[in-house]
Structure 1
């Protein structure tokens, strides 16, 4: 995050986040929470993705792992998106 930047947390994380308070203060970084975003926020997010500034976390797993995946969902341990790939080796 550059000095003077803003972190917008959209939605609710499954756990707490660690923040460097001295860095926030000294670099003038803002942290804002939001359950919803505006059209401008969405446009900006798509622009970040188009510029390669955002790297999505996507994990692909085979259907045979479905029970373990549901257990991980219940436990809140999945990070990013989980894709069940029906074409993966059985």
Structure 2
């Protein structure tokens, strides 16, 4: 199993263990994990959830009066190939 997939599954499992309902989606270059956050989430659980998503490549919170609050995380699937890292002026 690729490390990125294991990382995304770990984040989803840890958020679920905190009592949050999670869903994962596969995209071309990343896997996203979303968790619905209830209004009554205790401060300690918030802290733990933020520690979990901090292990992702990107994370954030979407909040609206219509859809409530969704904590999200994105894990990149692969590091893009860069070719010669010394730059165009130093190519062989």
TM-score, scaled relative to structure 1: 0.24
Which structure has the highest strand share of the two? 2
Which structure has the highest helix share of the two? 1
Asked which structure has the greater RCO (Cα within 8 Å, sep 6+), the reply is 2
